[in-house]
Amino acid sequence: MAKSTEQKIRKGGSLLETAKTIIYAVLIALIIRSFAFEPFNIPSGSMIPNLLIGDYLFVSKYSYGYSRHSLPMSPPIFSGRVFEEKPERGDVAVFKLPKDNETDYIKRVIGLPGDTVQLINGRLLINGKLVPRKRIENFIDLDLGRSWPQYIETLPNGSQHKIIEQLGDFSSLDNTPVYKVPSGHYFMMGDNRDNSADSRVQGGADRVGYVPLDNFVGRAEILFFSTDGSARIWEIWEWIPAMRLQRFLKVIE
């Protein structure tokens, strides 16, 4: 009887230690996710050619300081940002869609507070000055077997990145009015200029508009995994062929 009681005590102690370990692990994961890095995946082609559907990346939560959107479920426990740092032109950033404060979007910072932004025949103008772009080789989409015109765009601060024009320079978003970025807000654009709902879309169901600093979640830093989506979850034998190994551990530009 004494031996049985001792075994029960040991078993109970073992279960308690296991529960503690799980709780600690969950707390550590929440702290890392809230204050250091959070994983995101790319569900759309709005950031092609730099980010592809099926890319998985880490976002640094500390880059712009912390707002309520830094925390899981965005609890309204405080307003503004703590340890605030301003986004820089050219950053690729994750933010909460202003119209619902829930949906995660990822775009590039193009316009800063007080800037004017406009597109004329596909060419980007910031504060009335034409942003240089250089034609390079076409971007080849291996998943779709298509290729599109590709350029290197150089922003006023010297930041460079690739863009594509799937429909040339005369799509619906290639000619816009002049946008005046409000104080405390940013103008965000996708690198796939003809297939991106971004700050150019100021009304309607796809409205994005200007993004308040408080809505920024963090800066995209590095790709850690990528798949072309050809392998289903149970098709273990197809996992490796579906991986884009050349994109693993790629720094996001």
What positions carry a catalytic annotation?
46, 107
10 Å Cβ neighbour count for 163?
A: 25
Contact (CB, 8 A) for 167 and 179: no
Peptide bond into 177 cis (omega under 30): no
10 Å Cβ neighbour count for 145?
A: 7
Beta-strand relationship, 116-120 and 133-141 = unpaired
What is the 3-class SS of 91-128, one letter each residue? CEEEEECCCCCCCEEEEEEEECCCCEEEEECCEEEECC
Quote the tokens at residue 110.
């193009």
Backbone angles phi, psi at 48, to 5 degrees: -60, 135
